[in-house]
Amino acid sequence: MQVVLAKEAGLLYASIALVTDYDSWRLDLQHVDVTAVLETMKCNSAVALKVLRAALPNIAAIDWSDAIKEAQEEADRAVMK
């Protein structure tokens, strides 16, 4: 849902999903407890930080001017006047 709101506001948006468990839809797996979820989240957070540290310099090196202008123009067109 956030991506829709960001687009309406003329913002460029990306997300990183951190999966903590699969037991909510897999009947053949043992259910997890809070401790297991927190441990998985701790590991996922470390991986996400590595991804961001590697990606951000590359993202910062890109000239986003055209993409920002296009997103802002699209947001302006979405407003009913």
Catalytic residue at 28? no
Residue type, 29: L
Buried b (16+ CB within 10 A) or exposed e, 15-44: eeeeeeeeeeeeeeeeeeeeeeeeeeeeee
Out of 21, 63, 66, 76, the active site residue is 21
- Alpha carbon 73 to chain centroid, angstroms: 23
76 has catalytic annotation: no
Catalytic residues: 21, 23
